[in-house]
């Protein structure tokens, strides 16, 4: 677009073509409509501001409290990129405070100019417009290296760019807000899905895994143990005398005893072991790895004894246990391990009272 001014003389400058500038502005508006972040908006605007007027430089200024932040620039020489200047000493601040454009054809002859800020630069003339005339959020500056008075049409086209920039900034803010809400909503949905998934694997009463959770997670650990040529084991535990407790003291008392059994089994196991209530008064623990389950039955029994010592209402906990231990092969299945552990448990289960019967090895 041939709209560059002749640096030798404002009089000899190439005439400003308003129609071509408007055609260019339409392309800029389309680009701004696709911008999704502040940096993208700034890159578009800093270049368009210079091209639309034929200026030697352009700056993009944002309001930051009581300061003008020179966010970016495109110019024949360095200006003030990255600086924060007080609103009261900055032309950008004057434009935002007064909410109106300004044209200064000689920076050394205008009282609004802090000359010391301009001496190191090439600037001799400028035009600046606010970004959003109601409560401005920034400003766009154009600079010339020679004495020049921008035309009314040039200032008007620059203000039109600023108005489109204000819309783009609002869109970026809205897009960012929507994007943030989508991320938050997605995270909430993921968390809720995980919660629902865990609920589907968890026993409501005891907080342990339910049968489905046990089968899913234990099968996964069994596959790992099989690949690592490690060991695996299953402990089956069945509460003794739960029905009489329910019949005599009510189901609330029975539920309390089930929860006590869950705490006993959980406290006797490692963090990585799968502890589950697989149905009614039956519980199971699955473990894998190099560590042997030796002593597990004794730990469970010790925890039962400790619970019973603390129990004041006569609701004593008793459990029968069976343990299946193996080095899993390709043919080893979780179902077969459960079956053998269950048989070992029922081999010693009978009518119990007071204390649990120690488990056996299958």
User: What are the pLDDT tens digits along the chain (362 aa)?
Assistant: 334 443 333 333 446 677 888 888 888 888 888 888 889 999 999 999 999 999 999 999 999 999 999 999 999 999 999 999 999 889 999 999 999 999 999 999 998 888 888 999 999 999 999 998 888 999 999 999 999 999 999 999 999 999 999 988 888 877 677 667 777 777 877 777 777 777 788 898 999 999 999 999 999 999 888 888 788 999 999 998 888 888 888 899 999 999 999 999 999 998 889 999 999 999 999 998 766 677 888 899 999 999 898 876 668 899 999 988 888 887 888 999 999 999 988 887 754 434 433 433 33
- Which residue, among 19, 33, 318, has the nearest Cα to 170 in the 3D structure? 33
The predicted structure's pLDDT at residue 346:
86
Contact 315, 257 (CB under 8 A): yes
The predicted structure's pLDDT at residue 330:
78
Q: How far apart are CA 46 and CA 60, in angstroms?
A: 6
The predicted structure's pLDDT at residue 15:
62
Crossing angle (nearest 10°) for helices 211-227 and 334-348: 110
Helices (H), the chain: 18-34, 38-53, 91-98, 115-118, 152-201, 211-227, 242-249, 251-267, 296-310, 334-348
Contact 299, 251 (CB under 8 A): no
Q: How far apart are CA 147 and CA 181, in angstroms?
A: 50
Q: What's the pTM?
A: 0.53
The predicted structure's pLDDT at residue 314:
67
The predicted structure's pLDDT at residue 209:
93
Q: Which residues pair with 57 in a beta bridge?
A: 75, 143
- Which residue, among 264, 258, 270, 246, has the nearest Cα to 203 in the 3D structure? 258
3, two tokens: 């709209």
**Residue 212: which residues within 8 A CB-CB, separation 6 or more?**
200, 201
Q: Which residue has the tokens 């300061």?
A: 67
- Which residue, among 335, 310, 309, has the nearest Cα to 324 in the 3D structure? 335
Residue 319: which H helix or E strand, with range?
Answer: strand 319-326
Q: How far apart are CA 265 and CA 258, in angstroms?
A: 11
| 339: exposed, middle or buried (Cβ count in 10 Å: 0-12, 13-18, 19+) | middle
């Amino acid at each position: 677009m041939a709209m560059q001014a002749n640096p030798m003389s404002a009089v000899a400058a190439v005439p400003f073509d308003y129609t071509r500038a408007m055609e260019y502005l339409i392309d800029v508006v389309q680009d701004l409509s696709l911008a999704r972040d502040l940096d993208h908006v700034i890159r578009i605007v800093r270049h368009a501001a210079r091209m639309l007027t034929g200026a030697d430089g352009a700056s993009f200024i944002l309001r930051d409290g009581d300061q003008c932040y020179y966010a970016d620039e495109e110019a024949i020489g360095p200006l003030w990129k990255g600086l924060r200047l007080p609103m009261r000493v900055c032309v950008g601040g004057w434009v935002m405070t007064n909410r109106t454009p300004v044209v200064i054809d000689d920076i050394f002859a205008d009282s609004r100019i802090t000359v010391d800020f301009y001496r190191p630069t090439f600037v001799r003339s400028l035009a600046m417009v606010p970004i959003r005339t109601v409560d401005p959020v920034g400003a766009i500056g154009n600079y010339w290296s020679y004495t020049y008075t921008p035309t009314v049409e040039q200032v008007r086209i620059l203000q039109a760019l600023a108005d489109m920039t204000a819309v783009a900034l609002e869109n970026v803010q809205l897009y960012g807000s929507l994007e943030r809400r989508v991320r938050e909503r997605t995270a909430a949905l993921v968390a809720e899905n995980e919660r629902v998934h865990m609920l589907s694997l968890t026993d409501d009463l005891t907080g342990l895994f339910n049968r489905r959770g046990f089968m899913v997670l234990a099968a996964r650990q069994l596959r790992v143990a099989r690949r690592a040529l490690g060991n695996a084991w299953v402990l089956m535990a069945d509460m003794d005398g739960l029905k009489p407790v329910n019949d005599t003291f009510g189901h609330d008392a029975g539920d309390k005893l089930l929860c006590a059994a869950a705490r006993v089994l959980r406290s006797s196991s490692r963090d990585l072991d799968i502890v589950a209530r697989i149905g009614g008064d039956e519980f199971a623990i699955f473990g894998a790895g190099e560590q042997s389950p030796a002593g597990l039955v004794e730990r469970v029994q010790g925890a039962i004894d400790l619970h019973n010592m603390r129990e004041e209402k006569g609701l004593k906990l008793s459990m029968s246990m069976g343990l299946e231990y193996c080095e899993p092969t390709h043919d080893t299945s979780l179902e077969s391990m459960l079956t053998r552990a269950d048989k070992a448990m029922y081999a010693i289960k009978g009518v119990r009272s007071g204390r649990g019967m120690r488990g056996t090895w299958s």
